[in-house]
Structure 1
Amino acid sequence: MLRSLSVLVLSLLLIVGLAACGGGSDEGQDGQSAEENGGSNGTVDVAAAEKTFEQNCANCHGQNLEGRNGPKLENIGSKLSKEEILTMIKKGGGGMPGGLIRGEEAENVAAWLATME
C-alpha cells in the first residue's frame, strides 16, 4: 500500500514538473520567436506600449505614427531593429531628447514599434 502511494505521488510530481517546463519552444502564440516579437518573454504588451507612446511620444510622432514635429514611424520596423529603436529612445537624436521613457516601458515601446512594417 505504501509503495503504491509513493509511486503515485512521484508520478504526479513528475507530471507537474514536466508541465511546468512547457513545450520548449521560443515561439509566441502568433508563431514568432521572442526576438521577432521583441519582448524578452516573447510578447509585447500592445495596450501598455500604445498608452506609453500616447503619453510620451504622440505629440511629436502623431497619434497614428504619421509624424508631426518628429518623423513618422508608420513603418519604422522595416527600417530599424528593436535594438536600434531602443537606442534612439534611450539616447535621443535628430532633435529628440533621450530618456523620455525608460526601463521596461522603453523596451516594450521599442518592441511594439519594431512590429510596425
Structure 2
Amino acid sequence: MTRLWSMLIAGFLLINGLSAYQSTNSPNGPTTDTKQSAQAATGAGDKGGAIYKANCISCHGDKLEGTLGPNLQQVGSRLSKEQIAAKVQNGGGSMPAFKSKLKDADVESLAEWLSIKK
C-alpha cells in the first residue's frame, strides 16, 4: 500500500516536470521574463523547493529527473501554474491527491516553483 502511494506521488510530480535552469536565446543575456522567473524562484521558490523536497523527491528525484514518477525538469513548459496546482491537489493516474496533506498556500508555492521549470 505504501509503495502504491509512493508511485502515485511520483507520478504527480513527474507530470509537472521541472528544470533547474532556464535557457535564453538572447545574445545580450537573460530577458526580463527570465530575470523575473529567477526572482520568483528565490522568493516563493525557496518555499516551493522545500515543499518539493519534503513531499515529492521520493518519486520524482532530487534533480526532478523522475524515478517512480515522471520527469519534472520542464513541467512549466507543458503545464500552467493552475494545472500543476490542480494535479497536486487532485492527483490522477498513479499520482495521489495532496489536498488533504498540503495546505492551499503550500500547493500554491509548489505550483509556482514548478511552473518556472522550463
TM range (shorter): 0.5 to 0.7
Contact between 1:56 and 1:101, CA under 8 Å: does it hold in 2? no
Residue 73 of structure 2 aligns with an amino acid whose one-letter code is: E
Larger-gyration structure (1/2): 1
Which consecutive segments of 4 or more residues in structure 1 shift more than 2 A? none
Query: What is the TM-score when the length of structure 1 is the normalising length?
Result: 0.62
Give the aligned CA root-mean-square deviation in angstroms: 2.1
**Structure 1 residue aligned with 2:51:** 52
Aligned residue for 1:113?
Answer: 114
Query: Unaligned stretches of 5+ in structure 1?
Result: 1-29
Normalised to the residue count of structure 2, the TM-score between the two structures is 0.62
Who is 1:69 aligned against? 68
Deviations 1:57-113 (A, max 9, x none): 010011110000000100000000000000000000121110142311100100110
% identity of equivalent residues: 33
Unaligned runs of 5+ in 2: 1-30
Q: Aligned runs of 1:1-117 on 2, under 5 Å?
A: 31-32=32-33, 43=40, 44-99=43-98, 100-117=101-118
Q: How many residues align?
A: 81
